[in-house]
Chains A and B, each alone.
Chain A
Amino acid sequence: MRPLLLGIESSCDETAAAIVRGGRDILSSVVHSQAAMHALYGGVIPELAGRSHLQKILPVIDEALDQAGVRPADIDAVAVTTKPGLIGSLLVGVSAAKGWAWVHGKPLVPVHHIEAHIWAATMEHEEGASAELWPCIALVVSGGHSSIYRCDSPTAFVELARTRDDAAGEAFDKVAHLLGLPYPGGPSVSRLAEEGNPRAYDFPRYRAKDGGLGFSFSGLKTAVLYKVRGESQGGPLPPPEAIPDRADLAASFEQAVCDVLVEQTLVAARREGLRTVLIAGGVACNRRLREELRRKAERVGVRVLMPSPAYCTDNAVMVAGHGAVLLAEGRTAGLGLDAL
């Protein structure tokens, strides 16, 4: 059976719906991004996110059904992100999904946002459908998460490492702010970094003292701050045009982040004795990270699967896709489903 799922995602600043058949065949994907609205404030404002989700939730569901050319009666189940995320945002998607599913008499499938991101890395690849893909290592990097998982199956994950402070995407946002670049920081830092020398500054790369796995980006961010401020450490930040070598700072920062992410991921693969790595989350869009991971993984005989950029950032394709896997295991929920 290849069930047809409606997926709904509203955990942060994207309202999204998608129709996916059999966990892999993408019939439609609609994403309403709030990024431009939050950019005015330099980060996601939860109250504004909740207001926007409420306005957009029905239009994105309608459009996803229209684009896919399916009727509600054709849908076998409704998958919805229930955790983790902004609670006021999650509740909009969960409540709308419950109301819709209740009327149509469809099962509800609660989906973990991070597990859905990991599934997204397999969806567009032939080998992603193979049971031999598992177990594998997954690196999940976004504005809210930076973790490495051991994935024994599409529904069995063990976290091996996580950031001790900022998420990688959060570090990009903060450094973008220091450099006078717009939010979201990932794309804007990367654009500027293309003009710079990634070896111009030797920024610190985090390594745990006990040799364990893990990330930390706060020291790196502070190192960039010191470089930006130059000799006037106590004073205000200089205007962007007064920062010398801004492109070099961006490139060197980006290189340091990528080095840490790639190294720790490959160490995790080696320690676990696994030959496949998945990468997911918004930061997985980063071109330098994708290239470095591919190159260094190939050198040690590790295969890397990554989603196309459209499915790295938050979307509902991954929710509907992973929902099908959970549905096959009977992991549905009743009307008492809540966001966590």
Chain B
Amino acid sequence: MSVTHGLCLAIEASGRPASAAAHWAGRSLERVLVEERAHASDLLPAVDELVRELGTEPRSTTLVVVGTGPGSYTGLRVAIASALGICRAAHAQALGIPSGEALCWELGAEGELLTIVLDARSQGVTLASYRRVVQAGLAEIAVVQAPQWLPIAEARAHVALEGRVLVDATVPDLCGFEPALRARCSTVRPPRAAALLELGMARAARGQHTPLAELQPLYLRDFVPTTRKR
């Protein structure tokens, strides 16, 4: 039996607001969390509500799709650690998907190129480009440019020459986007768990999954701690 025939969950917490979605017996439901409240306190209660509304129980879970970012490490770790606990307890499969792919699934028209630029703070941005395509008769997200961290000064040169650009509100100013580029920009928001769930279920039905030991946030930049010197 396919992994998607059981209870499928999705958790997306790369930004605010976070959201959760669930699918069971042909019905899908989604909850968007209150933006100001903590992911850690609200995510699992939201998932629990969805599961109860769908008339099933947690141990029916067969798949947990989780957004891997880029985004807030705290939110991503809450989402991924929750997914790990659920998957282990329910013997469910996990599938980690970069959050930008879910956003493209939700917002991109077929064939359209979407570039997503997020403010990564510390004088940097994260940038990725995707195109929604049809492969072998199935809708998919093609990765044109995998997520990468860039210094602000280099970001403009990496934005694709076509398509829409979804950016954090601060990014065009930070990166000095010229008017023609600004005209292609619109403000980004976090992807919705409903889109993540749909994309994840489509991929899981084709046999994709992420081993639990490999489920982690997208770490786009090496973390180099300061060493205390004598």
Interface residues of B in 55-80 (CB under 8 A from A): 58-59, 61, 73-74, 77-80
Chain B contact residues (Cβ within 8 angstroms of A): what range?
35 or more
Q: Which residue of chain A is the closest to B75 with respect to CB atoms?
A: A91
Interface residues of A in 45-69 (CB under 8 A from B): 45, 47-48, 50-51, 54-55, 57-59, 61-62
Residue A144 at the B interface, CB < 8 A? Answer: no
Residue A325 at the B interface, CB < 8 A? Answer: no
Provide 25 A-B residue pairs closer than 8 Å at the C-beta atoms, listed in order of the A residue: A42-B227, A45-B225, A50-B77, A51-B216, A54-B77, A57-B81, A58-B212, A58-B213, A61-B88, A72-B89, A88-B73, A91-B78, A91-B81, A92-B77, A92-B81, A93-B81, A96-B81, A96-B85, A102-B85, A102-B89, A103-B61, A103-B86, A105-B59, A335-B45, A339-B40
The CA-CA distance from A100 to B58 in the complex, in Å, is: 10
Known A-B contacts A58-B212, A92-B81; the reply to A105 vs B58 at CB < 8 A is yes
The CA-CA distance from A39 to B155 in the complex, in Å, is: 36
Residue A196 at the B interface, CB < 8 A? Answer: no
Interface residues of B in 204-219 (CB under 8 A from A): 212-213, 216-217, 219
Q: Which residue of chain B is the closest to A97 with respect to CB atoms?
A: B85
**Contacting residues, chain A, for B84 (C-beta < 8 A):** 54, 57-58, 96, 99
**Contacting residues, chain B, for A94 (C-beta < 8 A):** 40, 81
Known A-B contacts A41-B228, A100-B86, A103-B58; the reply to A337 vs B81 at CB < 8 A is no
The CA-CA distance from A100 to B78 in the complex, in Å, is: 13
Contact A336 B78 (CB under 8 A): no
Contact A43 B88 (CB under 8 A): no
Q: Which of A40, A95, A236, A339 contacts B85 (CB 8 A)?
A: A95
Residue A230 at the B interface, CB < 8 A? Answer: no
The 9 residue pairs across chains A and B that have the minimum distance between CB atoms:
A99-B85, A103-B89, A95-B81, A42-B228, A100-B85, A96-B85, A99-B86, A338-B41, A45-B225
- Shortest A7–chain B CB gap in Å is 14
Residue B230 at the A interface, CB < 8 A? Answer: yes
Q: Which residue of chain B is the closest to A98 with respect to CB atoms?
A: B44
Contact A40 B227 (CB under 8 A): yes
The CA-CA distance from A54 to B42 in the complex, in Å, is: 20
- Shortest B193–chain A CB gap in Å is 16
Contact B74 A88 (CB under 8 A): yes
The CA-CA distance from A50 to B72 in the complex, in Å, is: 13
The CA-CA distance from A101 to B90 in the complex, in Å, is: 10
Contact A91 B77 (CB under 8 A): yes
- Shortest B41–chain A CB gap in Å is 4
- Shortest B176–chain A CB gap in Å is 30
The CA-CA distance from A50 to B74 in the complex, in Å, is: 9
The CA-CA distance from A42 to B228 in the complex, in Å, is: 6
Residue A180 at the B interface, CB < 8 A? Answer: yes
Contact A95 B77 (CB under 8 A): yes
Q: Is the interface of A mostly helix, strand, loop or mixed?
A: helix
- Shortest B95–chain A CB gap in Å is 15
The CA-CA distance from A93 to B228 in the complex, in Å, is: 28
Q: Which residue of chain B is the closest to A338 with respect to CB atoms?
A: B41
**Contacting residues, chain B, for A59 (C-beta < 8 A):** 213
Q: Which residue of chain A is the closest to B45 with respect to CB atoms?
A: A335
Known A-B contacts A95-B40, A102-B58, A335-B45; the reply to A48 vs B225 at CB < 8 A is yes
Chain B 156-191: CB-based contact to A (< 8 A → 1; otherwise 0): 000000000000000000000000000000000000
**Contacting residues, chain B, for A41 (C-beta < 8 A):** 225-228
Residue B148 at the A interface, CB < 8 A? Answer: no
- Shortest B76–chain A CB gap in Å is 9
Residue A227 at the B interface, CB < 8 A? Answer: no
Task: Given A43-B228, A59-B213, output 9 extra A-B contacts at Cβ < 8 Å.
Answer: A41-B227, A48-B223, A51-B223, A58-B88, A62-B88, A72-B89, A99-B86, A105-B58, A338-B38
Residue B106 at the A interface, CB < 8 A? Answer: no
- Shortest A184–chain B CB gap in Å is 13
Residue B48 at the A interface, CB < 8 A? Answer: yes
Residue A219 at the B interface, CB < 8 A? Answer: no
Known A-B contacts A58-B88, A100-B85; the reply to A335 vs B77 at CB < 8 A is no
Q: Which residue of chain B is the closest to A78 with respect to CB atoms?
A: B85
